Amino acid sequence: MDKKEHPKCINCNSNSHVIPIVYGYPTSKDFQDYERGDLKLGGIITSGQQFKWFCKKCDRNF
């Protein structure tokens, strides 16, 4: 996914630091993206509100 498709952070208004959050069992590609800092692993068990995006600059889910 291109950074231009990422939403802007609700705190700092930047999209260059925003990465998607992936829930469920991660694939090997997910682990590679995680190690590069291109996505955040959200966990296997989820309940309630699931955030879709994470800002690495602000350390904030949204």
Q: Model confidence over 9-28: pLDDT tens digits?
A: 999 999 999 999 999 999 99
Each residue's pLDDT tens digit, 25-48: 999 999 999 999 999 999 998 777
Q: Distance between CA 40 and CA 15 in Å, rounded?
A: 15
Report, in this order, helix, strand and coil percent for the chain, each rounded to 5: 20, 25, 55
pTM: predicted TM-score of the whole model, two decimal places:
0.85
Q: Distance between CA 48 and CA 54 in Å, rounded?
A: 17
The number of residues in the chain equals 62
On whether the CB atoms of residues 62 and 12 are closer than 8 A, the answer is: no
